[in-house]
Structure 1
């Protein structure tokens, strides 16, 4: 069994992989154009309203920088600019923003900055809220030696069939695991962060505990199986149920209509029973300070699928290696797919 790593191991990517066999060495995200992501919204703009919904293509610039530029052009406060989530700076990303229309005198389709450009602008009724996202479509270049390309393509095909562990990616924990360290200081009363940092710290603590559970279940071979008492969740919706007979649900598990889940700890919330609950209690008992801190901060508990199955997969070879394409639901990380396909070296 591969043990879950302690917090001090977080600067690397220490979590165990699920798919056995040889992972060819490769490199990933050497430059922004190697990582392309397009947001998928769960709605169409109304074509009328007090906001502009902007589709923006950005390259090598973070979301906050674009939001500040848009606020200046729209004549509004930065906090009045809406977006569904943050997109990595080191990527070519198509992302959506809203700005209030009241003070906009020119055509937003003409707006652009040094590293971004508005592609479309349509009227919308409401400000775009955080989390208002259906998913993301990815197109990624994996730099591989010729000898490793066939093995990588075969692993990717297996990933499309079986799915991957739904880990939170390294960016959730900050540089060198700093966000998790910040959570420990917060809970110990040694730091009093502002609202933004507090949110990052709490998110890192919950993500770390979830990843520990997932890593343990990979080690025990149950990350994509239903245990007795499992709290199974449905894809794309925040609901589920306690499984009393895993055999009865085997077909829905096989087709991806159900997934085993792990905890995002906090107060209240649904959870497993029996064998599944005992496993979680055993792992979480090793982090009492994080658990108690999340409860003290009154963070609402949730569940997250342990497995995610990429959709709309594609593979294309080029002179540098492979381009892989796939779609993931909101909240899942492309790095969770890549690390199951290749052993990532510099640039990953």
Structure 2
């Protein structure tokens, strides 16, 4: 699916992830380990390593089952990332984490914690991304970046959600056709199907420039939370809160049950998913209910600097569940070796 951009054609081209250090990700948790409990709480720096692979290596090093290892989110493989893991030791002493011999993995700190880290437990992520071999108009790029800082970007699901060659969508189609999948593959398939439908709805709203403004029948999400409300009549208070980024319009994460949206929004959503009806019907048969996701994403603390003539460094933070690549695509046309 070709996803329209909100800020026009990207003014720059370049290379993304020429080396892992060009894409740095630091998890922001919003809490500290408790200092006691049966879980080791590890801050790990990994380079060129998959989060799930690291979790399995930690389990092997501690002599526990893989299910005893927890983490808040999957982090990019082709990057340098810092994130927390927990390892349930159940009465065991801590291994010598400083002597851990896992390629590309370094334990930065270790403490004790009273519970397993669950997916989505972190507040967000901070990014530092370096684009190399940059070509294009600097002035136009900086104008575009100012627009992104002021208005945000469409909160698309990134290509990573769909897997290499969009194979997770192929898994979804196989699942909905009756094929049994392992639990992990089933999760990837359902997430990809939901993401494809959400992106289709958001693409419609980007095309008509309504992705960050109110339509009749809107459902709103409180910024920094998953709490939703509406529809309700448009008024000055909603207008003020929308302009202040206190609330965002939402689109559907498809599942069983009625859409919460109404009027123009509901009609647009139903029209957008109609070409993808087999995915929608498949999701309705699974154990998933209708949910909502914000249509608008505003990068926090967005800043940029130039290194010489052909390198641009971007710094910003995003909430959990958001994709850095959907920010980049609004200003760069740079093929992503990972996506």
Measured against the shorter chain, the TM-score band is over 0.9
TM-score (norm 2): 0.94
Partner of 2:313: 323
Q: What is the root-mean-square deviation of aligned Cα atoms in Å?
A: 1.7
Would you say the 8 A contact 2:8–2:330 is kept in 1? Answer: no
Given the alignment of the two structures, is residue 196 of structure 1 paired with residue 184 of structure 2, yes or no?
A: yes
The separation in 2 between residues aligned to 1:179 and 1:346, in whole angstroms, is 18
Higher mean displacement: 107-116 or 200-209: 107-116
Deviations 1:120-173 (A, max 9, x none): 111110011112111000000122436433332332221111000000000111
Partner of 2:228: 240
After TM superposition, which residue ranges in structure 1, 4 or more long, deviate above 6 angstroms?
A: none
Partner of 1:11: none
The separation in 2 between residues aligned to 1:155 and 1:144, in whole angstroms, is 19
Higher mean displacement: 23-32 or 248-257: 23-32
**3-state DSSP class of the match of 1:145?**
strand
Partner of 2:215: 227
Unaligned regions of 5+ residues in structure 2, if any? none
TM-score (norm 1): 0.92
The separation in 2 between residues aligned to 1:273 and 1:241, in whole angstroms, is 12
Given the alignment of the two structures, is residue 252 of structure 1 paired with residue 265 of structure 2, yes or no?
A: no
Higher mean displacement: 295-304 or 164-173: 295-304
Q: Mapping of 1:1-348 within 5 angstroms?
A: 5=1, 14-20=2-8, 23-101=11-89, 102-145=91-134, 147-189=136-178, 191-248=179-236, 249-268=238-257, 271-319=260-308, 320-345=310-335, 347=337
The separation in 2 between residues aligned to 1:82 and 1:21, in whole angstroms, is 40
The separation in 1 between residues aligned to 2:331 and 2:200, in whole angstroms, is 21
**3-state DSSP class of the match of 2:226?**
coil
Higher mean displacement: 69-78 or 218-227: 69-78
Would you say the 8 A contact 2:59–2:87 is kept in 1? Answer: yes
The separation in 1 between residues aligned to 2:298 and 2:31, in whole angstroms, is 23
Unaligned regions of 5+ residues in structure 1, if any? 6-13
The separation in 1 between residues aligned to 2:12 and 2:52, in whole angstroms, is 36
How many equivalent residue pairs? 335
**3-state DSSP class of the match of 2:305?**
strand
The separation in 2 between residues aligned to 1:92 and 1:292, in whole angstroms, is 39
Higher mean displacement: 257-266 or 37-46: 37-46
Higher mean displacement: 336-345 or 141-150: 141-150
